[in-house]
Structure 1
């Protein structure tokens, strides 16, 4: 009996531990359209608004197989015929529950809550929630080749990376010991004109510094995370080193690779005065 009481006490104390969920990010064109990077270990938060429905868009090659929702009275959930869209609408003003969606490729977990919107133009409303998939964006192979899953927006099997030119940096008076060994794959319009690092910070230069893409660091497990950065002169400076970055602007996407990255360090085999 004492063991049971002790176990229940431990469980109760653990239940108070703060939990983190992933919130969608508003897109620049219209904040009512939001995106979130898929991670099988994340719970995605979605706030619905009474009188409005949200469309959740999964990958075009996925098909919804099962939907389970904790409170089916307070929420209306309907998939489209193709099986890659889900229409979600709260039918009560304040309803909190969870939902699991199982497709033929993945499992998605959601934390649902509802509220009241001020107007249809309220930027907090989510008209469309789009998932993006770091592992689909650019698959990195040991032979240096990249490709996409079939159906993941333009299948390009084993398309080679493109080296990023150093020419945009030579006239900038950059220090000598820098790593310029970077390459990219993806949307040409997002390609930086220069990328380099000094062993501590990563510097990006874009043709149009007034219209910058969102930048995410990609780890070995292909999980994305938001980077901290600041603007320094003509450069966007990421406050860390990374083996890979995702650049994203709406539907457009590209990846930048640090080809000289080893165990959190950069090997300075290329010098800025060459």
Structure 2
């Protein structure tokens, strides 16, 4: 019985969470100048004193003076709170006659929401003269091997034929299809499964098409009046009546880039 009661007590002790506010890191020259890492899930503490003014500072461009701006405290009669003209500095001061004024203040700017706990203290060395914030770096864009103009380069550029008809299982249908007389391009939704592409020969037989991927485009090395797309039991036929002769591809490339090989003796 004693063991069970002890285990229950330990569980209850760990299950109870004590609220804790973030004071921020004191500056090396003066600990009353504090900097805190911003998080929308943190509550920050501002230690104040009577006959002293504390300031909350936001970065340039962040303001409480726009339509979404808000400064609301739970004990308005006990505090003097106001913002500067730019709206990026909020001044906080307890009233001289305030009794037990500890409360919270919610500040909403044009960019973020701040949750502040206001505390009245009697130790000048522990007071917060200035509270400012550091902000996490925004996530960097995912790396890609495509750079600059390659990001949106059309691998089937040139004299374009878009006159294609389709029949069969429409879930296999590309968003776009076109050819330039040398290559055929099919653009699919980025998250859609890719079907296998077959070229239909004049005698009705199929041959596996030579295909490469460029971003969300499947590039077929060749043109045909008919293609068949297959994925498991799904089949979609694509055909065109246009005879796009295009132009001869002297470089034999879908990107327009060529690599020159030189003799080391040159």
TM-score range, shorter chain: 0.3 to 0.5
TM-score by length of 2: 0.44
Rg larger for: 2
Question: Which structure: greater strand fraction?
Answer: 1
